[in-house]
Amino acid sequence: MAARRPLPTRRRPSDEVDWKHVGLRRTPQREVVLDLVRSCDTHPTAEWIYRHARQALSDISLATIYRTLRILKEKGLIWEFSGGANPSRFDGTSHVHEHLRCISCGLVADIDLEDVRDLRREVSERTGWTLGRWPVVFHGLCQPCATRRAAVRQAAEERGPGEPGASSGPEDDRDLCGGFW
C-alpha cells in the first residue's frame, strides 16, 4: 500500500456507517468507495470510481473497486443499475427515491415521488412480490437525447421511408455518459 493522500477532515458519508454491525471490516478502500458513491449524485461507473479513488489511494486496484461495490450492494448500502454490455452505474441510497434512466445515453437521474408509495403497495398486493424500498425506474429519453433523436428522425424521413425508431448514441459526454442502448 503506497501513497494515501490525506482524506478530507470534514465528515464523510462512510463515518455514518456502523461497520461492525454491517458485518464488514473498516478499510480505507471501502471508505473511499462508499464516500465516492454517496457524495456524488452522478451515478458513477466502476471505472469512474476507480479513477477517482486512486487520487486518494494511489494503488487501489480495479478488482477491489468491483469487489467492494458488490459487497456494499449486497449489504444494501448502495444500489446498482445494470447496463447490459455497458458498465453498471451506482447510487448511494440515502433515502427512498425513484429513478429515471435514459435509454439512449444511460444517464440516471433521481426523482422524489410521493405517489409511488401507494403504487408500490398496490403492485405488491397484486403480485405477491416484496417491493420494500427498492427503486422504481422510469425509462425514457433525457432532454439532450430526445432532441438529438428528433433531429435524426427528421433527417431520415426527409431521405425516405423507414427508420421509425432510429437510435443514436451519445457523441460527446466524455466523462460519465457511457451509453447503454
Partner DNA sequence: CTGATTGCAAAAGATTTGCAACCCC
Partner DNA sequence: GGGGTTGCAAATCTTTTGCAATCAG
- Residues near DNA (CB under 7 A) are 1, 19, 24-30, 45-47, 57, 59-64, 66-70, 82-88, 178
> Are 19 and 25 within 8 A, CB to CB?
yes
155-171: b (≥16 Cβ within 10 Å) or e: eeeeeeeeeeeeeeebe
Site string for a second copy, 85-104 (x = CB under 8 A): -x-x-----------x-xx-
Q: 28: how many CB neighbours lie within 10 A of its CB?
A: 15
Say which entry of DNA, a second copy, none residue 62 contacts (CB below 5 to 8 A, set by partner kind).
Answer: DNA
140 alpha-carbon distance from chain centroid: 16
Distance CA 173, CA 115 (A): 32
Say which entry of a second copy, DNA, none residue 41 contacts (CB below 5 to 8 A, set by partner kind).
Answer: none
Lookup: cell for 118 = 401507494
Lookup: cell for 52 = 477517482
Restricted to residues 110-139, the positions that interact with a second copy (CB under 8 A) are 111, 113, 115-116, 119-120, 122-124, 126-132, 134-139
Query: Where does this chain bind a second copy (CB under 8 A)?
Result: 20-23, 73-77, 80, 82-84, 86, 88, 100, 102-103, 109, 111, 113, 115-116, 119-120, 122-124, 126-132, 134-143, 146, 161-167, 180-181
